[in-house]
Amino acid sequence: MPNELKSWSYDLRSGWSEIEDTLWSGLPDDTGLEDALKQAGYKDDVITLGQMDSSVYLEVYAKDAQVPGPRYFISLELSGRGENIYVANLPSLLALLKDFAPLLQAGLLRELTSGYQLLDLLAQSLQK
């Protein structure tokens, strides 16, 4: 990944800002997201919301408070497009997840109602 990519940063006090994504700085172009996150001090995903193959999916990664930089990293997939979001602190993360909740619910509902999955669920429940 080239390091000239833009990402988003969110802080509850100051709001949204577009930033240069330094996650990839100094890493080979073939470095995967998991390896880049580990190099930057982020642990394995703490929270996963949505289904990987759904229209809305996000993973939250955290780093120890002693490690400088934004405390949380969110990998967001929205209708097949990926975005990186850096979040300053826990109150900001909670506010952001609250804002994403309707998107995640709408994505789940669309997944359930597409391809007659909802009708299949209803039919199965009636058979029991």
Q: What range does the domain containing 63 cover?
A: 6-127
Residue type, 10: Y
Q: What is the pLDDT of residues 75-125, one digit of tens each?
A: 988 777 888 999 999 999 999 988 888 777 665 555 555 555 555 656 666
For residue 74, is it within any domain?
yes
For residue 116, is it within any domain?
yes
Structure tokens at 14: 């100051």
Q: What is the pLDDT of residues 49-62, one digit of tens each?
A: 776 766 678 899 99
For residue 41, is it within any domain?
yes
For residue 1, is it within any domain?
no
Q: What is the pLDDT of residues 115-124, one digit of tens each?
A: 555 556 566 6
For residue 62, is it within any domain?
yes
Ordered DSSP codes for the chain:
--TT-EEEEEETTTEEEEEE-GGGTTS-TT--HHHHHHHTTEEEEEEEEE-TTSSEEEEEEEE-TTS-S-SEEEEEEETTEEEEEEE-SHHHHHHHHHHHHHHHHHHHHHHHHGGGHHHHHHHHHHH-
- Enter the pTM of the model: 0.74
Domain count, the chain: 1
